[in-house]
Structure 1
Amino acid sequence: MARKRRGIPIHGWLNIDKDAGLSSAQVVGRVKRIMNAAKAGHAGTLDPFATGILPIALGEATKTVSYITDDSKEYRFTARWGEKRNTDDIEGEIEATSDIRPTREDILNILPSFTGTIRQYPPAFSAIKINGERAYKLARAGQDIDMPEREVRIESLSLIEIVDTEHAIFEVTCGKGTYIRSLARDIAVKLGTVAHLSALRRIRVGPFLEMDAISLDKLAKLWQCPAEFEGLLPITTALDDIPALAVTEPQAIRLRHGNDVAAPNQADGFVCAMDGNIPIGIAKIEADRMYPVRIFNL
């Protein structure tokens, strides 16, 4: 007999502004404790030293996490010139130094080479699996790691401010799988120097925006009156790019039981089947038939 899940069923999304020093898993744990939620997960890991947008899926919204992790993301980051660290961020140990400090002109000249589809090596201290083991565990054990190169998509990259000779602030819009620590490291190499991230903040994940995010402290205060809480976003927040399609009550019943239904004159592709204002689930239309893919138990 399956063990009953503790907590109450809450379904939807939270736009959490993560504090520095917390892992993404720790944020999920705190959200569950604050809300006494039965089920929660996050969309897109943030490094502990980083801050910013961490979308949290609750209940049946966890079935839509993949649609958020595939969305583009925006980051604001600070490169600290002259120090290479083994983690490529402020938390690592210094491995090399350089006296070269790039000028604004130097930086602006090389930025176009980091837009579009580029190739990068993920940091050794990352969660990528190497022969079944997490890379960061191997790195902490002092093992040499041959990180696999990968293609990533950089939609835009801008120099925002040169703070001083040691620091420059950038903003980047990128696709899934991009490591900002690697980006800062590779920019420095292109400029003939070394660098690491001294600050990293995620300012957008798909439809989740910085200006709408709430901190864990604010969540704790607002959730004291759950009936008045307005920060819980609908499950369909993650499905903005998927068209909604209304179905009849008999069709809704069939879909909820895992059966396909007729969908004449509908274009092939994925849709969010709707029973009035209630999302039934994600379905795929093919050859005038609609097939359930992920059904929400609401």
Structure 2
Amino acid sequence: MQGFLNLNKPGGLTSHDCVARVRRLLQTKKVGHGGTLDPAAQGVLPIAVGRATRLLPYLASGKAYRAVIRFGLTTATDDLEGEILHQQPAPDLSLVQVQAALPQFLGQIEQVPPRYSAIQVGGQRLYDLARQGQTVEVPSRQVQVKQIEVLDWQPGEFPELTVAIACGPGTYIRSIARDLGQVLGPGATLAHLLRTHSNGFDLAQSLTLDALKDQAEAGTLTLLPPDDALSYLPALDLAGEIAVRWRQGQKLPVDDQDLQIDALYRVLDETTRFLGIAQIALRDEQPVIVPRMVYEAMG
């Protein structure tokens, strides 16, 4: 069994938990996931099965979320799972104030990940260091936030903002919630997170664990072929002996001058069978087709 699953992760499970369940349901060990989701978060979790696990790094990078941010509250984990650090009602906070602050979180921004996160510092995960009571300086990093759209505003003692966020890889929505609360004054934390898009997969086409179980037991489960999951990459058609040589890991001369240097391509043979991922590179100032991931090598 080879290919991808668009899993709708439930709250309360880690991404690793979901991989373990898929392994049991499909009775196969080779299962991996893309784009880790926090245990409390829900939504799209791309799952790769079989040889497709080697293709996870090549999936499209964009992500989108629907997030609920609660003001007047800060926690150790920057979401409702953690210890409350500060709590003070903010009934006077208005949507106009919030909207005025949002533009500074758009574009390329410097972001400090949450203290409880999978980021490594000194070879250890931040959440492990935090649970040990160690205080470490969390390095900031640059991330891209493409869009923040206000969906709803609930005023009150602890007002809540619902937003749709489109962003690049490595962006922590918990950090956006925390930092927005700091900018506005009363503090804030992430109250709910739903990932609506990840690595080319949409929530509308996702499959719950229960639905996955039913289909696996009925023998009706169909995995998404690698070529479909990587359809955002342009196709490079190789035929006959050229395709054989590429599958053997050989670098090939470039005949098509329209191919872009450093660009990635999904490689197909004359029957449109997916062969793997290639990159166009310069060798001795000449462009060549370099195998980056041969999906099925020659025996």
State how many pairs are aligned.
Answer: 286
**Cα 1:99–1:225 shift into 2, 3 Å:** closer
Q: How does 1:81-120 map to 2 (within 5 A)?
A: 81-101=71-91, 102-120=93-111
Residue of structure 2 in register with 1:5 after alignment: none
From 41, 50, 57, the equivalent of 1:59 is: 50
The counterpart of 1:75, out of the listed 37, 43, 65, is 65
Offset at residue 288 of structure 1 (A): 4.3
Q: Which residue of 2 aligns with 1:292?
A: 291
- CA-atom RMSD in angstroms: 1.5
1:229 paired to 2:237: no
- Cα distance between partner residues in 1 of 2:235 and 2:125: 39
Deviation for aligned residue 1:263: 2.7
Gaps in structure 1 of 5+ consecutive residues: 1-9
Query: CA contact under 8 A between 1:111 and 1:158: conserved in structure 2?
Result: no
1:175 is the counterpart of 2:175: no
Instruction: Provide the C-alpha distance between the structure 1 equivalents of 2:98 and 2:187, rounded to a whole number of angstroms.
Output: 13
**Partners in 2 of 1:84 and 1:270 — Cα distance?**
43
Amino acid of the structure 2 residue aligned with 1:283: A
Distance 1:184 1:201 in 2: 14
Q: Distance in 1 between matches of 2:280 and 2:121?
A: 38
1:199 paired to 2:198: no
Mapped partners of 2:208, 2:101: distance in 1: 36
Identical aligned residues as a percent: 36
Tell me which residue corresponds to 2:255. Answer: 264
Moved over 3 A (4+): none
Choose from 122, 125, 129 the match for 1:131.
122
CA contact (8 A) 2:62 2:200 kept: no
1:250 aligned counterpart, secondary structure = helix
| Per-residue deviation, residues 33-87 of structure 1 (Å, max 9, x unmatched) | 111123110000000000000000111211221123x611001111111111000
CA deviation string 1:200-220 (max 9, x = no partner)? 110001320110001010000
Specify every segment of 5 or more residues in structure 2 that has no aligned partner in the other structure, as ranges: none
CA distance in 2, matches of 1:289, 1:67: 20
For 1:47 and 1:115, locate their aligned partners in 2 and report how far apart those are by CA, in whole Å.
Answer: 23
Q: For each residue in 1:91-121, what CA deviation from the matched residue of structure 2 results, as whole angstroms up to 9, or x when unmatched?
A: 1001112333421111111111111111111
1:159 to 2:150 alignment: yes
Q: Normalization by structure 1: what TM-score?
A: 0.92
Show CA shifts across 1:256-283 (max 9, x none).
1111223312423321111222111111
Q: 2:273 aligned with 1:278, yes or no?
A: yes
- Report the more deviating stretch, 97-106 or 108-117: 97-106
- CA deviation vs aligned residue, 1:17-45 (integer Å, no higher than 9, x gap): 00000000010111111111231100000
Contact 1:80 1:195 in 2 (8 A): yes
TM-score, with normalisation over the residues of structure 2? Answer: 0.91
Give the match's secondary structure for 1:223. Answer: helix
Q: State whether structure 2 residue 202 is matched by structure 1 residue 209.
A: yes
